[in-house]
Amino acid sequence: MCGIVGIVQQRETKIGKTIIEALTKLEYRGYDSVGIASISDGKVMITKDEGKISEVAEKIDIDSIQGKIAIGHTRWATHGPPTKENAHPHTDCNGEISVIHNGIIENFQELKEELLKQGHVLQSETDTEVIPHMIEQLVKKENQSLQEAIITTVRRLEGTFAICVVSSLEPDRIYCAKRDSPLVIGINSDRMFCASDIPAFLEHTRKVVLLHDDEFVTISSNGYEIIDFNSMKKIVRKPYTVSWKPEMAQKGGFPHFMLKEIHEQPNSLADYIRIDQPSLIKIAEKIHNAEKVFLLAAGTAHYSTLTGENLIRKYSKKPATSIISSEYEAISGLVDENTVILPVSQSGETMDTIMAIKHARELDATVLSVVNVIGSTITRYSDEVLYLYAGPEIGVAATKTYTAQTLSMWDIGLEVGKISGELDKSEYDSARELYRNIPTVIRQTIVRNESRANHISSWFAKKSSSFFLGRGLNLQTAKEGALKMKEIAYIHSEAYPAGESKHGPIALVEEDYPVVFVAPKDHTNKRMIGSIMEMKARGATAIVVIEEGDKDIEELGKWKFEIPKGYSETLSTIPFAIPLQQLSYYTAMRRGCAIDTPKNLSKTLTVL
Ligand code: M6R
């Protein structure tokens, strides 16, 4: 949801190239337009245009963007279409103050009217443009210093923001401020960075400072200074070193981040299993002691919480309910001090989830989160955090973080079962053994199904609509498979409980209509045969995802994906999701889709 970056260097270089490289690492956040403000000869120079970073980079002369200081923006449009005029940076009337912004200014209409009355001329339809004009007004008409003016301005903003400001009035620094949108600082010996996310500067430095809400930062070649912009108190915060490696934010020989991230899953899951997190037991204890447990998440993360809900219920007999974050209102009246809220999020920045957490905290609920990005906003609102340790995920489609989320749900479910005494020791021990085997099963699953996915995709790519059907726990897998097909390959895909499909959706089925059946060899297997027969009788073409050797279902499918043995029934949601990731990837390839940056999407949705 918009990526921002700023660089302050000791020496003047072709800084445009460094900004474009950094923005490319943030492209997952938005790709509607791109813009850079650099300071050259004490003047602010703006270069911007609509389109993706690679398209804009072709149109502009990047090498001509020189200087010691620059800020850059990649946009996910909210206010106003993705045009050059609406591209950031935005400036004041004289082009002296330049601002990039990630977030939404909710009171921008009121601020804009005020500015228009004062004689300011605004060029865009964006909410952001009010910011440079407000700063200009305070500097020019009220004689405030640039720093004072920015602070006065951000105090008046309602909504969410991470902003960076450069100005010819003070051409040696970048000023930043944030509330509810992410901003981190990166430090190396001759350059300082600020960015929406760490991958932007990971190839330059692993030394990072996380900024908190309502903080204002001055970044110059001498370092950084943080103050609380409400109390004006100085904040001392030392950098820490992230364990991520630069190659984690590169494609490493794969054509797309999505494919790379699919292939990283044996390692990311092994990392999750290997890293002992003391928070796991604390989380399990708190869930055990709570009266009510609500799992909160959006999109793919929500599907992972369906495993959490099921396993907490199954292993500990404790009622747990999974809620889509934006539908939190449905349960908000039930939340109190005896409630555990369990948010699950890759980014830790999803605004629907954050807003629900904030409300639950006001009611004294305990917040126990499962997050991938260390230090992200959700972690700061949490009493305990379980990290996914999946590394940076750059492709907009969640893949490796989905399987890590699902594994973490399983991990939590198992521990709650143990603490509650509902799960006996031998059951627990054998479940843990299968759990440790998961990376191996996933490695074999990827290899076994790669060329099949590629082959089936040549037929699937010609379709305009499809069903994904599952039963029990694997309804979740079907939902995730359908979401991947929609968001990456732009094929309408609907997931349904297999048994429910006869109650309506089956009316859509016609000759050669694609239906994907997620059919592990568990207690749902026999019933799945009935569902496949029903669909085939209406002309559907069945693609079956089965356990190896499941001849009964195999012979009903035109095509099959096979999962090796070695997983347990409750863990099946992880390997069974893999071929569906592969199918959507190869189908999207054949349809010529922008796989890592699908249209209309952003990886991190920091708006409500
Ligand atoms: O960062 P989060 O896990 O909170 O994001 C939640 C969803 O926006 C995300 O899973 C989205 O559905 C992905 N594009 C799915 O691939």
Site of tokens 């991470």: 162
CATH number of the domain within which 374 lies? 3.40.50.10490
Domain count, the chain: 3
Minimum CA distance residue for ligand 1 atom 10: 300
Confidence tier at 458 by pLDDT (50, 70, 90): very high
Average pLDDT over residues 367-380: 91
Backbone angles phi, psi at 15, to 5 degrees: -70, -20
Q: Is 333 found in the same domain as 245?
A: no
Residues 228 and 260 in one domain: no
Q: Of the residues 249, 275, 292, which one is the last residue of a structural domain?
A: 249
The 10s digit of each residue's pLDDT in 133-187 is 999 999 999 999 999 999 999 999 998 899 999 999 999 999 999 998 889 999 9
Q: Is the pLDDT score of 68 beyond 90? A: yes
The phi-psi region of residue 248 (left if phi > 0; otherwise alpha if psi is between -120 and 50; otherwise beta) is alpha
Q: Give the whole-angstrom CA distance, residue 580 versus residue 559.
A: 13
pLDDT at 1 over 80: no
Q: Is the CB of 335 under 6 A from ligand 1?
A: no
Is the beta carbon of 356 within 6 A of some atom in ligand 1?
Answer: no
* Catalytic residue flag (residue 603): yes
CA 570 to centroid of ligand 1, rounded, Å: 23
Largest Cα–Cα distance of the chain, in whole Å? 80
Query: Above pLDDT 90, what percent of the chain?
Result: 82
Q: What are phi and psi of 338, to 5 degrees?
A: -100, 15
Q: Is residue 185 part of a domain?
A: yes
453 and 576 assigned to the same domain: yes
Does 487 share its domain with 512? yes
Choose the catalytic residue: 2, 164, 176, 593.
2
| Structural tokens at position 363 | 């009611």
Residues 460 and 514: beta-carbon distance below 8 Å = yes
Q: Is residue 386 part of a domain?
A: yes
Residues 197, 66 share a domain? yes
Residues 239 and 261 placed together within one structural domain of the fold = no
Same domain membership, residue 380 and residue 467: no
CATH of the domain at 245: 3.60.20.10
Single out the residue in 199, 218, 249 at which a domain terminates.
249
- The parent domain of residue 182 ranges over 3-249
CA atoms within 13 A on the CB side of 538: 16
Decide whether any atom of ligand 1 lies within 6 Å of the 605 Cβ: yes
- Whether 100 maps to a domain, the answer reads yes
Domain final position from 201, 216, 249: 249
**244 pLDDT higher than 90:** no
Residue 355 exposed, middle or buried by CB count within 10 Å (0-12, 13-18, 19+): middle
Note the pLDDT tens digit of each residue in 301-348: 999 999 999 999 999 999 999 999 999 999 999 999 999 999 999 999
Tell me the CA distances in angstroms from 66 to 13, 62, 200, 223, 301, one per residue in order: 6, 9, 19, 21, 42
- Tell whether 310 is covered by a domain: yes
